[in-house]
């Protein structure tokens, strides 16, 4: 094909792709045309043509940039929020259903409305702890840490939760703040604060209805987990791990070699009966089983351990 | 999973239009909204971001009237096609009853089609669903662009790329012009209702 025809064809294709909103493809075609043009010596006004193409590329890049930097979750109208709340809550029981609706709002980044919905659930005993943890999550996502701490203090002052529940929430909140390197302290003002114990309050299954017992339920994207160690040097403590990989209900953790003492107690087949799962939008509890525990033999993580856990219930 | 209310004799099903970004999923719903007014049971909701790209989902409720005494309603959704919206895309797929995979016929989008199909299969798997068992129809969209000089893939090539193993119905379309939009939806509804009927019979 004649070089001039080739360049013209590429430029036409670039324009067509741009009109289709296929901006990367358009940029690719413009660049291909410019590359050919640059290699051809005897072209009248070559520099002007190249500058023209460069201008086009800059314009398309600007469009692409506007898209890539658009707000990820702009505030929606109340009608859209109602739709999200209604259509993305699948639980059948009266308490779990609104909680799921509120979680869906948070997942779609509608934190303001989600907070309102979670707060309205604080009066329902069966879901109030889960609602409170999700309120904390919303504050973390919005980076309104002080507001979150203030809200926690109000729960404390109003006696909304039992001391055990409040301590559970405090540990959760402080853990997330510490993990993100936020130097703020969450404290219980009540003088007779208890030591942390697992609460008996019913934990909500955030993973939707359990009607289809045979089906594998969705597991949210998990960023980290907190395992209540039953054996070993940290028995009775909740130890947090970052999740390095997740595929459905299988999660993988990387554990540094210095934790060898603990690793001994996380052999394949070990049941982990009390795990807290932390996702960007929600925190929930469950159980799992260690499916493999491998010492990494090569590469920069040599000597560390790779632990695979299958989540058995949430 | 569809809601079946035996007392009220109502069935509510969910069909999701899946596929790569800028492939024409929203255009399909817009055409249905404009053209099949009699069946449309409410406003179409579109949540878009820069450049009219779907941010969360589109939603269009339609009513199919009574089928064997049951009032059948179907909610049509699209997912955001752009790669960065993976978590909301997955969320929209939850409890799906039927799928339309809108493939882009443009040659330059060949790989994107395959990546999107793989993503859909994985997301279904994460929900405990098998892509081979969920009612699914392929729509090979943008067939009209050949006339405008775009290099496009042949239907045979698209079938080979995407439908070699699945062997589900595939239909050519030009969603912008409306060609094939109704036929695609009709085919998907047929498969979805058939699947719901067999699920219902198994459960009863």
Q: Show residues of chain A in contact with B90, CB under 8 Å.
A: 218
Q: Classify residue B92 by its DSSP letter.
A: H
Instruction: Kindly report the CATH number assigned to the domain that includes residue A114.
Output: 1.25.40
A78 touches chain B (CB under 8 A): no
How would residue A219 be classed by pLDDT, with cut points 50, 70 and 90? low
Whether residue A213 lies inside any domain: the answer is: no
Q: Classify residue A71 by its DSSP letter.
A: -
Distance (Å) of CA A256 to CA A34, A35, A232, B137, B189: 50, 49, 16, 48, 53
| B127 to chain A, closest Cα gap in Å | 5
Is B52's CB within 8 Å of A216's CB? Answer: no
pLDDT, mean over chain A:
82
Residue A194 has pLDDT above 80, yes or no: no
Instruction: Kindly report the CATH number assigned to the domain that includes residue A246.
Output: 2.40.10.220
- The span from the CA of A241 to the CA of A272, in Å, is 13
Tokens 């359990």 sit on residue:
A210
- The span from the CA of B104 to the CA of A17, in Å, is 12
Whether residue A212 lies inside any domain: the answer is: no
Is A74's CB within 8 Å of B49's CB? Answer: yes
Q: Which of A241-250, B77-86, B138-147, B186-195 has the lowest mean pLDDT?
A: A241-250
Instruction: Kindly report the CATH number assigned to the domain that includes residue A40.
Output: 1.20.58
Tally of domains in chain A: 3
User: Which of A84, A216, A221 is closest, CB to CB, to B128?
Assistant: A216
A and B: number of Cβ contacts within 8 A: 77
Q: Which of residues 71-110 of B touch A (CB under 8 A)?
A: 75, 84, 87-88, 90-91, 94-95, 106, 108-109
| A69 to chain B, closest Cα gap in Å | 9
- Interface residue of A23, A60, A83 to substitute, partner B, most B CBs within 10 Å: A83
Q: Locate the domains of chain B by residue range.
A: 3-198
**Which H helix or E strand runs over A247?**
strand A238-247
B56 touches chain A (CB under 8 A): yes
User: Which of B59, B87, B106 is closest, CB to CB, to A83?
Assistant: B59
Q: Classify residue A290 by its DSSP letter.
A: E
| B92 to chain A, closest Cα gap in Å | 8
pLDDT in tens, A23-59: 999 999 999 999 999 888 777 788 888 999 999 999 9
Whether residue A119 lies inside any domain: the answer is: yes
The pTM of the full predicted model, rounded to 2 decimals, is 0.73
| B51 to chain A, closest Cα gap in Å | 7
Selection from A112-126, A199-213, A257-271 with the highest mean pLDDT: A112-126
Q: What percent of chain B has pLDDT over 90?
A: 75
B115 touches chain A (CB under 8 A): no
pLDDT in tens, B31-69: 999 999 999 999 999 988 877 788 889 999 999 988 878
Is residue A16 domain-shared with residue A102, that is, in the same domain? no
Q: Show residues of chain B in contact with A67, CB under 8 Å.
A: 49-51, 53
Residue A300 has pLDDT above 70, yes or no: no
pLDDT in tens, A67-101: 888 777 788 999 999 999 999 998 888 888 999 99
Nearby residues of B178 by Cβ (< 8 Å), 6 or more positions away: B31, B35
| B182 to chain A, closest Cα gap in Å | 22
Is B106's CB within 8 Å of A80's CB? Answer: no
- The span from the CA of A101 to the CA of A87, in Å, is 8
Is A248's CB within 8 Å of B125's CB? Answer: yes
Q: What percent of chain A has pLDDT over 90?
A: 39
Full residue range of the structural domain in which residue A120 is found: 78-179
Q: Show residues of chain B in contact with A71, CB under 8 Å.
A: 49
- The span from the CA of B83 to the CA of B112, in Å, is 10
Nearby residues of A288 by Cβ (< 8 Å), 6 or more positions away: A251, A271, A272, A275, A309, A310, A311, A312
- The span from the CA of B94 to the CA of A99, in Å, is 17
Output b/e per residue, A248-286; b: 16+ Cβ within 10 A.
bbebbbebeeebeebbeebeeebebeebbbbbebbbbbb
Phi, psi of A27 (to 5 degrees): -60, -40
- Which CATH entry fits the domain spanning B3-198: 3.40.190.10, 3.40.50.300, 2.60.200.20, 3.40.50.2000? 3.40.50.300
B126 in Cβ contact with A248 (< 8 Å):
yes
Is B125's CB within 8 Å of A108's CB? Answer: no
Q: Show residues of chain A in contact with B95, CB under 8 Å.
A: 90
Domain boundary among the residues A68, A90, A121 is at: A68
A22 touches chain B (CB under 8 A): yes
- The span from the CA of B102 to the CA of B117, in Å, is 10
Mean pLDDT of A274-278: 83
Instruction: Work out the angle at residue B66's Cα, subtended by the Cα atoms of residues B63 and B70, and round it to the nearest 5 degrees.
Output: 105
Closest CA in chain A for residue B12 = A87
- The span from the CA of A14 to the CA of A33, in Å, is 9
Whether residue A184 lies inside any domain: the answer is: no
Is residue A155 domain-shared with residue A247, that is, in the same domain? no
How would residue A10 be classed by pLDDT, with cut points 50, 70 and 90? very high
Tokens 């703020």 sit on residue:
A184
pLDDT in tens, B64-120: 988 878 899 999 999 998 877 888 899 999 999 999 999 999 999 999 999 999 999
A19 touches chain B (CB under 8 A): no
Whether residue A118 lies inside any domain: the answer is: yes
Is B126's CB within 8 Å of A67's CB? Answer: no
More confident residue, A303 or B136: B136
Tokens 């390197």 sit on residue:
A181
Q: Show residues of chain B in contact with A248, CB under 8 Å.
A: 125-126
- The span from the CA of B50 to the CA of A74, in Å, is 11
How would residue A208 be classed by pLDDT, with cut points 50, 70 and 90? very low
């Amino acid at each position: 094909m004649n070089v001039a025809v080739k360049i013209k064809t590429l430029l036409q294709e670039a324009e067509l792709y741009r009109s289709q909103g296929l901006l990367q493809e358009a940029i690719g075609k413009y660049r291909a045309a410019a590359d050919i043009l640059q290699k051809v010596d005897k072209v009248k006004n070559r520099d002007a043509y190249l500058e023209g193409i460069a201008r086009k590329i800059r314009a398309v890049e600007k469009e692409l940039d506007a898209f890539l930097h658009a707000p990820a979750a702009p505030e929606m109208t109340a009608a859209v929020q109602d739709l999200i709340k209604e259509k993305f809550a699948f639980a059948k029981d009266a308490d779990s259903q609104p909680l799921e609706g509120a979680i869906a709002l948070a997942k779609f980044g509608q934190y303001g409305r989600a907070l309102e919905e979670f707060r309205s659930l604080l009066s329902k005993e069966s879901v109030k702890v889960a609602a409170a943890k999700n309120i904390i999550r919303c504050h973390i996502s919005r980076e309104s840490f002080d507001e979150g701490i203030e809200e926690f203090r109000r729960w404390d002052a109003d006696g909304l939760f039992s001391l055990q529940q409040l301590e559970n929430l405090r540990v959760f909140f402080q853990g997330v703040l510490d993990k993100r390197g936020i130097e703020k302290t969450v404290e219980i003002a009540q003088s007779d604060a208890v030591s942390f114990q697992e609460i008996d309050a019913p934990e909500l299954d955030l993973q939707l209805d359990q009607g289809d017992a045979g089906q594998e339920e969705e597991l949210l994207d998990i960023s980290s987990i907190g395992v209540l160690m039953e054996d070993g040097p940290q028995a009775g403590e909740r130890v947090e791990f970052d999740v390095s990989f997740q595929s459905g209900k299988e999660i993988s953790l990387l554990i540094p070699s210095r934790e060898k003492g603990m690793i001994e107690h996380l052999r394949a087949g070990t049941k982990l009966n009390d795990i807290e799962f932390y996702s960007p939008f929600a925190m929930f509890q469950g159980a799992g089983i260690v499916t493999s525990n491998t010492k990494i033999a090569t590469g920069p993580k040599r000597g560390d351990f790779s632990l695979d856990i299958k989540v058995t219930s949430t | 999973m569809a809601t079946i209310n035996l007392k009220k004799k109502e069935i509510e099903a969910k069909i999701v239009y899946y596929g790569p970004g800028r492939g024409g999923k929203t255009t399909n719903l817009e055409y249905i909204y404009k053209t099949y007014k009699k069946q449309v049971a409410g406003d179409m909701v579109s949540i878009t971001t820069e450049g009219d790209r779907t941010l969360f989902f589109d939603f269009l409720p339609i009513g199919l009237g009574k089928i064997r005494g049951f009032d059948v309603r179907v909610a049509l959704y699209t997912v955001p096609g752009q790669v960065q919206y993976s978590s909301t895309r997955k969320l929209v797929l939850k409890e799906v009853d039927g799928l339309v995979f809108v493939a882009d016929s443009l040659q330059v989008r060949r790989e994107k089609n395959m990546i999107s199909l793989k993503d859909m299969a994985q997301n279904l798997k994460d929900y405990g669903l098998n892509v081979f068992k969920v009612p699914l129809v392929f729509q090979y969209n943008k067939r009209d662009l050949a006339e405008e000089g775009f290099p496009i893939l042949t239907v045979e090539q698209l079938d080979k790329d995407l439908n070699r193993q699945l062997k589900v119905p595939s239909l050519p379309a030009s969603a912008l012009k409306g060609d094939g939009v109704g036929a695609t939806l009709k085919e998907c509804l047929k498969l979805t209702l058939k699947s719901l009927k067999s699920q219902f019979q198994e459960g009863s």
